[in-house]
Amino acid sequence: MEQDSAGAPARASLLNDPKARGLFYQVVLVVALVLFGYFIVSNTIHNLEQQNIASGWGFLENTAGFGTNQSLVSYSETSSYGRAIYVGFLNTLLVAGVGIFFATLIGFIIGIARLSNNWVISRLAYCYVELVRNIPLLLQIFFWYFAVLRSIPGKRDKWSLFDTVHLNIGGLRLPKPIWEPGSEFIGIALILGIVASFFVSRWARKRQEATGQQFPVFWTGVGLVLGLPIITYLVTGMPMTLEHPNFVETGPILRQGFELNVGINVIPEFLALTAALSIYTASFIAEIVRAGIQAVSHGQTEAAHALGLRNGPTLRLVVIPQAMRVIIPPLTSQYLNLTKNSSLAVAIAYPDLVSMGGTVLNQTGQAIEIIGIWMAVYLSLSLLTSAFMNWYNQRMALVER
Amino acid sequence: MSKKILPLVIGAAMGVAATTAAGATTLEDVKAKGFIQCGVSQGLPGFSNPDAQGNWTGLDVDLCRAMAAAVFGDATAVKYTPLSAKERFTALQSGEVDVLSRNTTWTMSRDTQLGLNFAGVNYYDGQGFMVRKDLGVTSALELSGASVCTNTGTTTELNVADYFRANNMPYEIVAFEKADEVVAAYDAGRCDVYTTDASGLYAQRLKLQNPGDHMVLPEIISKEPLGPVVRQGDDEWFNIAKWTLNAMLNAEELGVSSENVDEMKSSDNPSVKRLLGVEGAFGEAIGLSNDWAYNIVKSVGNYEESFNANVGPDTPLGISRGVNALWNDGGFMYAPPIR
């Protein structure tokens, strides 16, 4: 190539120049895409006008008029459509966040159990993976939801644990913390505890590198993170009280059972959806973890054992850190899948983004706008997740010195 | 669900371009393909419900069959698209269906903002509540603090919110996409109350494990005029939908039924003559043949026949005519005359 152009510069006609041709086709492609996009948009607007379908974003400020059974921010029937969609968005975030946490936890446990030397444990993990990942998610959601509904006590009955946590068909009831003035110090103490334990662990690592002496970092951390807020709580005169769910046993039958809006109620729709999403996604994560661990050469384990490390520390300090490099990229995809799959919530009355947005769509008929919001939200969530995981991946990547 | 709507919207963006660009009216389209595409519910006994063989029956289905009889002289020239409450308008707007006959409430915003036209009312309904009998509740006003199961994307959701708010009663709403899941959740005891249009309550009650354990409360909290819907901007097709319904009502009023329609052709009553196309050219006026109404009555029947066969007192639903009786019988059903 270089010789060609150096030898005969005059012959490099624009038509034969691979660079110019490549550029030309790319420009043509971009122009075609832009034109196609313009055609779709203008055609849509034209057709909407012709069919007398109202469009625009003004509807977001109109009164929604419908209720919901879970909102993380204040919401009532008099709130706007925009607020309703926001409520759905937060519910999606919540179920995705909690789902990702549990899916990762279960996935790692099962993935590691799959490689266990214990035959029973590894077979159990194998069965779990094969059973769960081969059943469609929607069926699993229905299974969890209707299994939950059918098997737990009805409205006028309950299962209780230590008389603080209760479960019945209306959901999981927990005591709700009521924050009084002065309680902000507890939050400050918690943050201080976390920061302090971070510095302690850094100091302990440096000291171990310098002197070889170990320091009980874990228990110090626990002490700081839990202890500081508790001491603050006691010192500031206990500014936080618990509001316990109120179970009514007398009066008309309809009034019996838990009172509305007292304590925290985790609705069964949320429980079922989180269970289904985490258990389903965990089966894929388990395989990813297994693949990652198996990708680490067995020599690493043998070397660690030769250094005198036991199985636990070998796994934690030698194998997993190396396996993470293989695990993270496919793990990202699973996180994205879980987030997007949460839109199946609509089947079991969990008010997520798609459910709330769908109701708004039906009340207003603004299909294009609502679908636009859905696409924008899921796209940005996915891009954010993958940006974060890429950053994490880069941090974990092998640094060659 | 989103998987279903997305193609619809893309269809709205692109497919509709094809139909409007070609300038073909809905009637021409329908004639060209040889059948009417009719949007119905996903299964509501008495209104639109498929049997084991996939044959659809019901009051709403009869309207589609009547339109097919009017256009083709053949009541079977219909294909059905089961639609959820959320999908229905997009499906109609995008041209996926030619007519929506799916217990859809006529409201002002739907009529004016969605590019749709309501062709009349084939069932006057109102929203009600169903509860377990053992709750001991006798009035909807005692439902304070109850949890309420319903469908998403319906006027029902708005009415129940208005009702509980107006009466200052707290409540918990549990809204499902499909009616079958509402029934299952209510049956499992997730909710104290099941609310939808009263006709729907009677129909869905049949799906419960022990229908006898449940009762419908006396309060009707809303007006729900249900009727067929077509796209706005196609007056010819709008007329056909409107006058198909009117023909069924007029036939009942004139005493013309599927059994006596052939004899009635030789009736001396000028109204009957105009209806059956013996006199005048009313079929041509709406772009059809003059025996359009004869075909409707012959193959589908008049409104009374359709009502009695699908939802009437002798069916499992056992709904009496009530306000759905003809105007001269104490009801609301009043069709403009054919003349």
**What's the pLDDT score for residue A34?**
94
Mention every residue, 6+ apart, whose C-beta is less than 8 A from residue B198: B125, B126, B127, B128, B216, B220
**What's the pLDDT score for residue B69?**
94
Say whether A169 and B176 touch across the interface (CB within 8 A): no
Mention every residue, 6+ apart, whose C-beta is less than 8 A from residue B136: A252, A253, A254
Closest CA in chain A for residue B149 = A349
What is the distance in angstroms between the Cα of A60 and the nearest Cα belonging to chain B? 15
Q: Please give the average per-residue pLDDT across A335-362, as a whole number.
A: 87
- Please give the DSSP secondary-structure letter assigned to residue A318: I
What is the distance in angstroms between the Cα of A329 and the nearest Cα belonging to chain B? 26
**What's the pLDDT score for residue A401?**
60
A55-64, A115-124, A267-276, B263-272: which range is least confident on average? A55-64
**What's the pLDDT score for residue B305?**
93
Say whether A368 and B9 touch across the interface (CB within 8 A): yes
Say whether B13 and A44 touch across the interface (CB within 8 A): yes
Q: Which residues of A touch B93 (CB under 8 A)?
A: 51, 53, 365, 367
What does DSSP say about strands B56-57 and A247-248: parallel, antiparallel, or unpaired? unpaired
pLDDT tens per residue, range B189-231? 888 899 998 888 888 888 888 888 888 888 888 899 999 999 9
Q: Are residues A365 and B110 in contact, defined by beta-carbon separation less than 8 angstroms?
A: yes
Measured distance CA(A222)–CA(A331) in Å, rounded: 29
**Among B211, B218, B153, B315, residue whose Cα is nearest residue A356:** B153
Say whether A252 and B142 touch across the interface (CB within 8 A): yes
What is the distance in angstroms between the Cα of B30 and the nearest Cα belonging to chain A? 19
Confirm or reject contact between A309 and chain B (CB < 8 A). Answer: no
pLDDT tens per residue, range A9-37? 555 677 778 888 888 889 999 999 999 99
What is the distance in angstroms between the Cα of A348 and the nearest Cα belonging to chain B? 6
**What's the pLDDT score for residue A60?**
83
Question: B134 in the Ramachandran plot: left (φ > 0), alpha (ψ -120 to 50) or beta?
Answer: alpha
Say whether B136 and A252 touch across the interface (CB within 8 A): yes
**What's the pLDDT score for residue A399?**
65
More confident residue, A317 or B69: B69
What is the distance in angstroms between the Cα of A88 and the nearest Cα belonging to chain B? 13
| H helix or E strand, kind and range, residue B116 | strand B116-118
DSSP labels for A101-123? Answer: HHHHHHHHHHHHHHT-S-HHHHH
Task: Report the DSSP beta bridge partners of residue B128.
Answer: B196
Confirm or reject contact between A364 and chain B (CB < 8 A). Answer: yes
CB-hemisphere CA count at 13 Å for A119? 0
Q: What does the block give as tokens for B223? A: 């007006």
| Cα–Cα distance list, B160 to B55, B124, B308 (Å) | 34, 18, 30
Measured distance CA(A388)–CA(A383) in Å, rounded: 9
Q: What does the block give as tokens for A27? A: 């420009």
SS3 content of chain B, % helix, strand, coil (to 5): 45, 15, 40
**What's the pLDDT score for residue A5?**
47
Q: Please give the average per-residue pLDDT across A186-210, as a whole number.
A: 82
Q: Which residues of B touch A259 (CB under 8 A)?
A: 145
Measured distance CA(B96)–CA(B58) in Å, rounded: 21
Q: Please give the average per-residue pLDDT across A180-198, as a whole number.
A: 79
Closest CA in chain A for residue B176 = A349
| Cα–Cα distance list, B325 to A102, B104, B219, B312, B329 (Å) | 58, 20, 20, 11, 6
| Cα–Cα distance list, B165 to A256, A318, A372, B193 (Å) | 22, 61, 32, 16
* Interface list for A 52-91 with B (CB within 8 A): 52-54, 65-69, 77
* Interface list for A 162-181 with B (CB within 8 A): 169-170
DSSP labels for A226-281? Answer: IIHHHHHHHHTT--EEEE---EE-SSSGGG-EEPTTSSEEE-HHHHHHHHHHHHHH
Task: Report the DSSP beta bridge partners of residue A154.
Answer: none
Q: What does the block give as tokens for A345? A: 């919530």
Closest CA in chain B for residue A56 = B113
| H helix or E strand, kind and range, residue B229 | strand B229-231
Q: Which residues of B touch A141 (CB under 8 A)?
A: none
Measured distance CA(A61)–CA(A213) in Å, rounded: 63
Q: Measure CB to CB from residue A371 to each of B9, B85, B134 and give the nearest one.
A: B9
- Please give the DSSP secondary-structure letter assigned to residue B326: B
Q: Measure CB to CB from residue A149 to each of B5, B161, B185 and give the nearest one.
A: B185
The vertex-B83 CA angle with B81 and B88, nearest 5°, equals: 110
**Among B337, B339, B317, residue whose Cα is nearest residue B327:** B337
Q: Measure CB to CB from residue B2 to each of A65, A343, A348 and give the nearest one.
A: A343
Measured distance CA(A191)–CA(A193) in Å, rounded: 5
Q: Measure CB to CB from residue A254 to each of B6, B142, B161 and give the nearest one.
A: B142
Mean pLDDT over the full length of chain A:
83
Mention every residue, 6+ apart, whose C-beta is less than 8 A from residue B318: B202, B312
Q: Which residues of A touch B169 (CB under 8 A)?
A: none
More confident residue, A227 or B298: B298
Task: Report the DSSP beta bridge partners of residue A159.
Answer: A167
Which value does ipTM take for this structure? 0.74
Measured distance CA(A267)–CA(A273) in Å, rounded: 10
Q: Please give the average per-residue pLDDT across A92-111, as a whole number.
A: 92
10-residue averages of pLDDT along chain B (339 residues): 47 46 77 93 89 90 94 92 87 91 90 89 92 87 88 83 88 86 88 90 87 87 92 91 94 92 89 90 90 92 93 87 90 91
Measured distance CA(B197)–CA(B254) in Å, rounded: 30
Say whether A53 and B114 touch across the interface (CB within 8 A): yes
Measured distance CA(B302)–CA(B257) in Å, rounded: 6
* Interface list for A 254-273 with B (CB within 8 A): 254-255, 259-261, 268-269
Q: Measure CB to CB from residue B86 to each of A149, A351, A362 and give the nearest one.
A: A362
Q: Are residues B226 and B123 in contact, defined by beta-carbon separation less than 8 angstroms?
A: yes
More confident residue, A3 or A55: A55
**What's the pLDDT score for residue B227?**
93
Measured distance CA(B207)–CA(B11) in Å, rounded: 35
- Please give the DSSP secondary-structure letter assigned to residue A80: B
| Cα–Cα distance list, A221 to A227, A233, B119 (Å) | 9, 18, 71
* Interface list for A 116-155 with B (CB within 8 A): 146, 149-150, 154-155
Measured distance CA(B36)–CA(B290) in Å, rounded: 19
Give the per-residue SS3 of B297-316. HHHCCCHHHHHHHHCCCCCC
pTM, two decimals, is 0.77
Q: Please give the average per-residue pLDDT across A247-276, as a whole number.
A: 81
End-to-end CA gap in chain A:
36
DSSP labels for B16-61? Answer: HHHHHHHT--HHHHHHHHTSEEEEE-S-BTTTBEE-TTS-EESHHH
**What's the pLDDT score for residue B23?**
62
Q: What does the block give as tokens for B83? A: 């639609």
Coil, strand or helix: which one is B121?
coil
Say whether B113 and A53 touch across the interface (CB within 8 A): yes
Q: What does the block give as tokens for A168? A: 């019945």
What's the full length of chain B, in residues? 339
Q: Which residues of B touch A66 (CB under 8 A)?
A: 157-158, 161, 173, 175
Q: Measure CB to CB from residue A149 to each of B145, B160, B190 and give the nearest one.
A: B190
Mention every residue, 6+ apart, whose C-beta is less than 8 A from residue B43: B49, B50, B82, B179, B180
pLDDT tens per residue, range A373-401? 999 999 998 899 888 888 888 887 766 66
Q: Are residues B96 and B8 in contact, defined by beta-carbon separation less than 8 angstroms?
A: yes
Mutate to test the interface with B, among A50, A53, A341, A378 (most CBs of B within 10 A): A53
**What's the pLDDT score for residue A90?**
92
Q: What does the block give as tokens for A9? A: 């510069």
* Interface list for A 328-347 with B (CB within 8 A): 343, 346-347
Task: Report the DSSP beta bridge partners of residue B229.
Answer: B100, B118
Q: Which residues of A touch B172 (CB under 8 A)?
A: 69, 170, 260
Q: Please give the average per-residue pLDDT across A263-281, as a whole number.
A: 89
pLDDT tens per residue, range A119-166? 899 999 999 999 999 999 999 999 988 888 788 887 777 787 787 788
What is the distance in angstroms between the Cα of B176 and the nearest Cα belonging to chain A? 5
Radius of gyration in angstroms for the set of CA atoms belonging to chain A, rounded to a whole number: 28
| Cα–Cα distance list, A97 to A101, A289, A367, B201, B334 (Å) | 6, 20, 28, 38, 57
**Among B158, B197, B102, B199, residue whose Cα is nearest residue A359:** B158
